[in-house]
Chains A and B, each alone.
Chain A
């Protein structure tokens, strides 16, 4: 789910973001963000994101490269652990 307004992209991720789902998610986000190049802030709602694999991290990294201010809200414990372990959490604003 992605919604773009006033140079901000609000993204909702849910379920598992792994090798099986990541390509589809990446394609969707890429297409949406391509049309709105002036995004200054990306906000990810991870309330229902239960699992993230290294393929999923690549998607997050792609977003982070697009926009320096990338936030992840309501991150679950397991997902948080993966973000911290790889250091990628440091690149994001996590809450």
Chain B
């Protein structure tokens, strides 16, 4: 259950990471898109600048041709063109040299001018009423010649329109200098024209009238249309007199102001960003599909993990049970023999995995104390199975023999039988006569125990025993084991252990070592840790301190037996 809860945490974390990943993706994608839009806008701006420069060159060229024609006509017909430094100009008629033409002469002059200047669609000259008083027109004399197809038509505007109130006449006469009108629809031809007008002044700066040349600006519209690269937008040229507000949501707006007016392009953004919007859509779709795939994959994996985890949890609970069974084989109750004052002993076993291959065992038969420490080759479940067999055999064989060499021999024969995997068990077997302190032992390939003797002055002397090695158990059935004997005096003790103690490693792969065990014995004496349990606890603490958090790689087993005497 705990495992499954942990899985839930993994689920939450993974989901969180995925969500954050998605956010990061969209943020990065959004940023890229924003930068791309800036770039596209900048590129479009540059393109529009170029396009407008072309159009402007064309338009300005056409306009200045009309202006030049106008100045030529004015100077040929009326007098000097006076140009000021600020660019303004008017026509000054010299009364001494100027011969006022007849009405007919006016028309003829205008017709011949139009014939020579195909660019100009019409010429009009509006005179103040006092100039041609004899005509007796309704509003004054304003001859107008216009090109209609191949023919030229004459009109006297003054007969039906008060031309002096119209822009083309009013503005230049009010301001005193030349003026381009806004484009307007010319009635006779039904075409869009703009007119260049210039005021005429006579003697004493008296206003005489205004001359106007009209040109077809339809061609301008064509050029502007061609300069706009987008279907949904047209480039327009706004004259200075037009107010505009150049901002529209979701639209690209480009404006470029000149003295002659403002060029302006308003275009739906999706046209400008066309490719980009496709990309945006595609990447969004790909992103969403990836996200969905990721979620599906994640859910699938999670389900799978859940199954594995349940199986694993089952296995682990079995291992826990196995571990409990194994630990139950090992005597752990202390004091072990409350009615036996001859002994102080303590055993400790900590497997590296759930179950291990180390063992220790002890019991008393009559006045004989049997004890053993063993180490099965390998670790984990296989070793633990072998260990259980060893322990059961040990208990059984000791019923019939109290001689360690015989016990080792019998164990070896039983374990070697059909041992195809060559698993073996090193073991130190001892039998201590509690009455006399006589110790017989047999070392079957195990680490030499530490022995604490008493010297003549009853001071403790600690050293490693040097027992005969014999052979590990379970290898060769025919091996002949030999035992040894010694006597323990009161206060003398044995420390048995497995190589998990001396080979405990720290992060630098330094082993705890045999000397450290001896040193620890000295230290505990100084610290007055005198009982077997105190010593073992301290030794384990020193081993753990040495390992400093590094995983225990081998089972650790310690058994201390002190003979207290009769």
Residues in chain A within 8 A of chain B (CB atoms)? 19, 54-55, 57-59, 61-62, 64-65, 84-88, 90-91
- Interfacial residues, chain B to chain A (CB-CB below 8 A): 375, 377-379, 421-424, 426, 444-447, 469-472, 475-476
Q: B471, A86: Cβ atoms under 8 Å? A: yes
Tell me if A91 and B377 are in contact (CB < 8 A): no
B405 to chain A, nearest CB (A): 13
Q: Nearest 3 pairs between A and B by C-beta?
A: A54-B377, A87-B471, A86-B445
A-B contact pairs, 17 of them (CB 8 A): A19-B378, A54-B378, A55-B377, A58-B378, A58-B422, A59-B422, A61-B424, A85-B447, A86-B469, A86-B471, A86-B472, A87-B444, A87-B469, A87-B470, A88-B445, A88-B471, A90-B471
CB neighbours (8 Å) of A19 from chain B are 378-379
With A85-B445, A85-B447, A88-B445 as given contacts, are A58 and B423 in contact (CB-CB < 8 Å)?
yes
A91 to B476, CA, bound (A): 9
- Shortest distance in angstroms between A66's beta carbon and chain B's nearest beta carbon? 11
Q: How far is the CB of A17 from chain B (nearest CB, A)?
A: 13
Q: How far is the CA of A59 from the CA of B377 in the complex (A)?
A: 12
Q: Across the two chains, which residue of chain A brings its CB closest to B383? A: A54
Report if A87-B378 is in contact (Cβ < 8 Å); known contacts: A58-B422, A58-B424.
no
Report how many A-B pairs have Cβ atoms within 8 Å: 53
Name the A residues within 8 Å of B379 (CB-CB): 19
For residue B379, which residue of chain A has the nearest CB?
A19
User: A55 contacts B471, CB within 8 Å?
Assistant: no
Chain B residues whose CB sits within 8 angstroms of the CB of A59 once the complex forms:
422
Query: What is the bound-complex CA distance between A71 and B447, given in angstroms?
Result: 24
Q: Bound state CA distance, A83 and B268, in angstroms?
A: 88
In the bound assembly, the distance between CA atoms of A18 and B547 in angstroms comes to 21
Q: Is the CB of B422 within 8 A of A62?
A: yes
Are A88's CB and B423's CB within 8 A?
A: no
CA distance A87 to B375 in the complex (A): 14
Cβ–Cβ < 8 Å partners of B423 in chain A: 58
Nearest-Cβ distance from residue B517 to partner chain A, whole angstroms: 15
Chain A nearest CB from B230 CB (Å) reads 70
Q: How far is the CB of A74 from chain B (nearest CB, A)?
A: 22
Given A54-B378, A57-B377, A58-B377, decide whether A87 and B445 contact each other with a Cβ distance below 8 A.
yes
Among B421, B446, B469, the residue within 8 A (CB) of A90 is B469
Cβ of B469: which chain A residues have Cβ within 8 Å of it?
84-87, 90
Minimum CB–CB distance for B356 against chain A, Å:
13
A61 and B475 CA atoms in complex are apart in Å by 7
Collect the chain B residues with CB atoms within 8 Å of residue A88's CB: 445, 471-472, 475
Residues of B within 8 A of A57 (CB): 377, 424, 472
Smallest CB gap from A61: residue in B: B422
| CA distance in complex: A87, B471 (Å) | 4
Alpha-carbon distance A61/B377, docked complex (angstroms): 12
A86 touches which of B378, B421, B424, B476 (Cβ 8 Å) = B424
* In contact, A58 and B421 (Cβ under 8 angstroms): yes
